[in-house]
Amino acid sequence: MPVSENPETASTLATPVRKVLIGVTGGIAAYKVCEVISSLAKSGTEVRVILTQGAQAFIAPLTVATLSRHPAYTDNRFWQADRGKPLHIELGEWADVLAIAPLTANTLAKLAWGIADNLLANTVLASTCPILLAPAMNTDMWEQASVRRNWQQVLDDPRYHPLEPGAGILACDRVGAGRMAEPPQILAHLESLLHTRGQRDLQGKRVLISAGGTREYFDPVRFIGNPSTGKMGVALAQAATHRGASVTLVCGPMAGELREMLPPIKTIAVTSAEQMQNALLEEFPAADWTLMSAAVADVRPATYHAEKLPKRLLPSALPLASVPDIVAELGRRKQPHQKLIGFAAQTGDIVTPALEKLEKKQLDAIVANPIDRPDAGFGSDTNEAIWLDSRGNRRDFPPCSKLQLAHYLFDAIAFL
């Protein structure tokens, strides 16, 4: 069959200049935003920064100007852009995405009520781009009824994309909610918004994702496993959530810092293939789209020893038993409205075995990705892949971040 061109996916593969405007308000978490600004600038994204008066008590205009490679905007400057337009209009028209981080209770109230008494608040009103909000404040402030009301009010406006604060030790020594989202979470959400332009095109979709590798133990400390980290599955969960889907993630053992990257979704942690199968069979009937990015074991040790085997008793050969093929079972149970996407991590020729699995496992599509290249596969932050679907379409996705690839894949699934 001929390769069909999906115009939406094709256009997103071009990399136009990305323009991000960051609004920093007066909270101690402002120091963390320097990392966001620096990472964006280093990645080739154009960054402009507005500092409110309060923000300048925490970080200096010179700091953000140096990191963003552009003078910082403050209320002290005459509000006239170089080309003569009022500055808030020029900045509002310039930005693809605006992120306000940290967002204080004071600026939140301005957003909720449409108050425009400084450059940042005026720019919000003079722009139409999506706005990412990363609040940070003391727990009592965050839980205050007036703040809850204002937060709910902005959430009701689809223009605003929330990055809820986490819980932890705050700078006021309080332990509780109010910690600003970490820079990697802010960067991931910004990348999603740059891709979607704020569209929540998966709203109403229930997406089930499996991630990571399984471990098949033969005693309490030894197992058959694989190097899968779960990064691709986490990227899929982020992309789907950022696009408005309701996401459930079934994941094998995963590093703590990767788990922290997960948006607030239903997560079921499992260890073995059997546990993964049980969780997926339970969740599958409620899912519209299921993506099996997990590297599930193909075999397990035939016997399990409840006590750790002493070294001298370790067998020289390990009898193996087969593991159920989870995705093949899901393929058999699939209803007409459901889409099932498999992954095939391969070395050498990645297409032929993937096409065989596509058919044998009754998948709607399979994502073949090489694991013998330096910047793709297990553990890497980047990936490359070939999409092959049951309609005969093929798309080659060049090396890109796993989150970017996740967005390309959701664009392609929408066309199935």
Note the residues at the interface with ligand C5P (CB under 6 A).
273, 292, 294, 296, 298, 323, 325-327, 342-344, 357
Min dist. Cβ of residue 323 to ligand C5P (A): 5
Compare residues 200 and 394 and give the one whose CB is closer to ligand C5P: 394
Exactly one of 34, 129, 172, 251 is catalytic; which is it? 172
Min dist. Cβ of residue 363 to ligand C5P (A): 8
Compare residues 182 and 216 and give the one whose CB is closer to ligand C5P: 216
Contact 61, 74 (CB under 8 A): yes
Contact 178, 170 (CB under 8 A): yes
Min dist. Cβ of residue 372 to ligand C5P (A): 14
Per DSSP, the residues of 321-369 read: EE---HHHHHHHH--TT-EEEEEEEESS--HHHHHHHHHHTT-SEEEEE
Compare residues 158 and 285 and give the one whose CB is closer to ligand C5P: 285
Dmax over CA atoms of the chain, in Å, equals 82
Known catalytic residue at 34 = no
Min dist. Cβ of residue 62 to ligand C5P (A): 50
Compare residues 343 and 387 and give the one whose CB is closer to ligand C5P: 343
Min dist. Cβ of residue 224 to ligand C5P (A): 12
Compare residues 180 and 406 and give the one whose CB is closer to ligand C5P: 406
Q: For 43-144, where are the alpha helices, taking DSSP H only?
A: 61-68, 87-94, 105-113, 119-125, 139-143
Cα 337 from Cα 347, distance rounded (Å): 33
Cα 171 from Cα 28, distance rounded (Å): 8
Cα 363 from Cα 360, distance rounded (Å): 8
Compare residues 135 and 230 and give the one whose CB is closer to ligand C5P: 230
Strands 131-135 and 222-224: unpaired
Per DSSP, the residues of 234-291 read: HHHHHHHHHTT-EEEEEE-S--HHHHTT--S-EEEE--SHHHHHHHHHHHGGG-SEEE
CA distances for 333 relative to 195, 266, 361, 363, angstroms? 33, 22, 11, 11
Min dist. Cβ of residue 346 to ligand C5P (A): 7
Task: Report, as residue numbers or ranges, the catalytic residues.
Answer: 172
